[in-house]
Structure 1
Amino acid sequence: MTKVILRQADILTKGEEFHFSRSVLSRSRPKALHDQDYYEIFWLHNGRARLVTEGGKMDLTEGDLVFLAPGLPHALQGLGEESHIANVIPRRKRIKDLVTRFPEVSQFFPEAGSLPVQVHRDIRHLAQLSTAAKSLEAAPRTTLYLEAFLIPLVAELSFEAREEAASIPAWLSEALLRAEDPAVFRDGAAGLVAQCGKAHAHVARTMQAHLGQTPSDYINRLRMDYAARQLKGTPDSLSEIATDIGIHNMSHFHRLFRARFDMTPRQYRVKHQKGVVQPI
């Protein structure tokens, strides 16, 4: 895909501290990704959509709220019925000031180039968000009204994140950290379950309840992310990388990698690897 760059100076006029808009997404496959030099918050209040980046895709449903950092090429595509989104583009300096005053806000406004932050809002929270958005839409484009919208939103999300983290059993949190070691995820879901010291069925139920993932889903994500780093940073062959992450069936490796990054391992290497001698 080709790439275009959108700039804050072309969207915000002098004296405007934020931009607010609503739109219906096109269902056509994106022909180009666009980059931008500003933060953006958008949510899907009707239908389904897909966020496409260079690293993969993120399917969105009604109620999904997404925080985008600058420096992340992306595109949005509507899926199925009409997909309605609302988005807010705050002046970048306002976000910098907010993070300085409230450091915990940085989890939603990370450094440039960071991956999107996705949070789902249920019907009640989506209704609250819609009400706040209507007030923002009608308000003067000043810092006061921008912060009146953003601070309650990120405070609520931060509180929910802390509650969720606190609710995950300590044994599972510790096991998930240990699972990031290749020596653990090389053994697949069994490696993670062994770190938990619990029955597989109990681990699976607990992970589904707290993370919405199975042990296999979680481990395969770690494996594919590790494989992607190896493809970008080493000359190791595909079979060596697959073996290193504990996958001995190349068809299975390709299928998992494509599901994660929307391209084959070889395509990913060609796209991202620079100046590394390729294996024969």
Structure 2
Amino acid sequence: MESPILLFRAEGGIDREAEGHYRDLSGIGNTAGPHTHDFFEFFLITSGSVCHWINGKKEQLDEGSLVFMRPQDVHFYEKLPGKDFRLINLSYYSKTVMELFAYLGDGFPQDAFLFAPYPASVRLSQQDKLLLQRRMEKLYRIPQHDKRWFRTELRSLLSEVYVSHMMPNVVAKPDERPPWFVQLCLQIKNPACFHEGIAAMLSLSGKSHAHLCRVFQQWEQLTPLQYLNRVKLQYAENLLLCSDWSVLDISLEAGFHNLGYFYKSFKALYGHTPLQYRRIHQSAF
């Protein structure tokens, strides 16, 4: 016998003045069975993995999965053998979300979000997942009586998730770059590859240096070396935010053997020295 589908109503769990609700759920035992609701919500898998049934379709969600649920969606979670998970969920009155859609204007692909067979979802990078998780967890530290502050933070997060993560996924344009070039850009992000430098680019692509220069200029407006340095700096940025390694160790791990050059390059891209950047972003959380 199938489980009945529960209907959760905004009035029963979302503070009207705050316009939203924060929940941190650890373990499959803290989740509900098949259900729908009359409000929007998005959730982030912060650790582990789980089977997610959504509108009759089964999918595995892993750490970094971000899903935005609509009122009409029916879903529930099912434990995977030997695994469990944690998620953070933010719920919003439908009125709040629709006001955001209206503000974004006619160019916003509203129908793609509202009427697609399945809700919009995306798998975040470890860095993006960590930053969003910290932003979401910050809500828990807001005093419960300060509903105006809570509402502002909730709206800010709603806008951020849609504009930064969901819209690019829904309205993504076909990648017109040559397939070999797309593959090269993915492969060169592997530390084993970018440590080898331009030689790895030539070996992986099978192209001449002159041809690489023309293609990188066409699609990235960078030389191969400039692109390579940007990849290494992005890798270093992630280590600054996600580890307690020293700047020297991060510089070496990212493939910069001249500390002065690393400092100069990092500041040129991010506007701060590595230590300043780490202090600014860690103090934000």
Normalising by the residue count of structure 1, what TM-score does the alignment of the two structures yield?
0.53
State how 1:1-280 maps to structure 2 within 5 Å. 1=2, 2-26=4-28, 32-79=33-80, 80-103=82-105, 104=108, 106=110, 109-111=113-115, 114-139=117-142, 140-142=146-148, 143-157=151-165, 160-161=168-169, 164-168=172-176
* Distance across 1 between alignment mates of 2:111 and 2:178: 22
Which 5+ residue runs of structure 1 have no aligned equivalent? 172-280
* Distance across 2 between alignment mates of 1:72 and 1:87: 15
Which 5+ residue runs of structure 2 have no aligned equivalent? 180-285
Q: What is the aligned-residue RMSD (CA, Å)?
A: 3.0
Percent identity over paired residues: 18
* Distance across 2 between alignment mates of 1:162 and 1:18: 24
Q: What are the superposed Cα offsets for residues 239-274 of structure 1, whole Å, 9 maximum, x if unpaired?
A: xxxxxxxxxxxxxxxxxxxxxxxxxxxxxxxxxxxx
Corresponding residue SS for 2:131: helix
The one-letter code sitting in structure 1 at the alignment partner of 2:56 is: G
* Distance across 2 between alignment mates of 1:41 and 1:64: 10
* Distance across 2 between alignment mates of 1:105 and 1:135: 30
Quick check: which has more Rg, 1 or 2? 2
Q: CA deviation at 1:55?
A: 2.2
Normalising by the residue count of structure 2, what TM-score does the alignment of the two structures yield?
0.52
Contact preservation (8 Å) 1:42, 1:65:
yes
Q: CA deviation at 1:109?
A: 4.5
After the TM superposition, which parts of structure 1 deviate over 6 Å for at least 4 consecutive aligned residues? none
Corresponding residue SS for 1:46: strand
Aligned to 1:206: none
* Distance across 2 between alignment mates of 1:42 and 1:105: 21
Corresponding residue SS for 2:17: coil
* Distance across 2 between alignment mates of 1:33 and 1:137: 27
Q: Provide the aligned length of Structure 1 versus Structure 2.
A: 169
Aligned to 1:176: none
Contact preservation (8 Å) 1:108, 1:154:
no
Q: Greater shift after overlay, 118-127 or 139-148?
A: 139-148
The one-letter code sitting in structure 2 at the alignment partner of 1:106 is: Q
